[in-house]
Amino acid sequence: MKLWDKGIAIDKQIEDFTVGKDRELDVFLAPYDVLGSIAHCQMLQSIGLLTTEELRQLTQALRQIYQQILSGKFVIEEGIEDVHSQVELMLTRQLGDTGKKVHSGRSRNDQVLLDLRLYIRQEIQEIVESTQKLFDRFISLSEQHKEVLLPGYTHTQVAMPSSFGLWFGAYAESLVDDLRLLQAAYSITDQNPLGSAAGYGSSFPLNRTMTTRLLGFHTLSYNVVYAQMGRGKVEKTVSFALASLAGTLGKLASDICLYMSQNFGFISFPDHLTTGSSIMPHKKNPDVFELIRARCNQMQALPGEISMITTNLISGYHRDLQIVKESFIPAFEQMKQILHIAEYSLQHIIIQPHILDDEKYRYLFTVEAVNKEVLAGVPFRDAYRKIGQQIADGTYQPDLKLQHTHEGSMGQLCNQAIQDKMKEVLNLFPFEQARNALSQLLQP
């Protein structure tokens, strides 16, 4: 079944190529297609295109389909082109001509626009929740190990003293900014495209404000041409936010792989969280974090991939946009897996407490020595040359006492302020509004 079927047989090779992976990927969109159809039917009844009894029958049947989806029994049958066709076919089998009325005032174009935006909203919520768990883990580890020092690096060279409090806290604050970007992407997503039809509106007196309210959107994509232009643009915007989050996690993974190596030995993990070598019995490999790094690098390529698919498309719908789903939809599950395994692994991280006792880190404290001279009244450039000369002639002796007191330093991590920033960002996501609206659509 095809919603555009005019009774003309389509070449099988052409059909297989043009359908692509829609049947597999549309299963992810199925619950949102049903929710959008319930809201659409309520709107059609309000403008006289459905009777009250037809609305009751359609709503009941759609809720039954929704339960099938939740139970894993929903399938897009062989020969059915996509989720929209499958849902309409199921309604028509059960309700006859009444089932055929569900498509009035809609196009597959605005159906998939709507399905994707409802899907993205839910996926962003789940990613935010997982990110919050990882954030809390970072803050907890930062506080737990704030007194433990480790080397800080510039140019991959030993530079100045740092601490695990700073290191974990840095990744916590990075997640805050990642969620700021994700919140902006959510806001762009949270606009109702339903009613834009094929991208040029409809001669039916559709009530788009009503479906916006029923589906819990913040606002409308008002201009129907722009609503269709949002296909691809929304996905690209969201992918930039996911890439930002991936950038943070990829950098964390690189640090961990480096710090776990025997040449550093700053951290370790229990044996059951690492893998071994087939010929080297001493090996404890950080495979989890190597794969996190690789997958995060892969995800950071996603905005470029979507950009290349959508570049130079004129306004209006194009089948090119179908390909975006193949990379975009799987990215959410991959990101959730990365967040989960990172947080799980960090629960078991082992911190080495006496890293700086090693003689090779004695020059970490040269800046402290320069600053001590400056505090005693020596001009900075003279103090710099003095300590440099001591290093050159072998008379330099490090002072291991650190006096870092400013905001965000080792002596004042400001973790509570970072937590306050996170709460501020989290409060910007209107998840409850969307959740309550969709829940009402499913109430008998």
Residue ranges of domains in the chain: 12-103, 108-357+414-441
- CATH number assigned to the domain with residue range 108-357+414-441, chosen from the 4 options 3.40.140.10, 3.40.190.10, 3.40.50.300, 1.20.200.10: 1.20.200.10
- CATH number assigned to the domain with residue range 12-103, chosen from the 4 options 2.60.40.10, 3.30.930.10, 1.20.1630.10, 1.10.275.10: 1.10.275.10
Asked if residue 415 lies in contact with residue 169, where contact means CB atoms within 8 angstroms, the answer is yes
Whether pLDDT at 32 is above 90: yes
Any bridge partners for residue 158, and if so which?
A: 153
pLDDT at residue 10 in the model: 58
Stated pTM of the model:
0.91
Whether pLDDT at 23 is above 90: no
Whether pLDDT at 20 is above 80: no
pLDDT at residue 173 in the model: 98
pLDDT at residue 279 in the model: 63
Q: What are the tens digits of pLDDT across the range 151-205?
A: 999 999 999 899 999 999 999 999 999 999 999 999 999 999 999 999 999 999 9
Q: What are the tens digits of pLDDT across the range 212-233?
A: 999 999 999 999 999 999 999 9
- pLDDT bracket for residue 9 (50, 70, 90): low
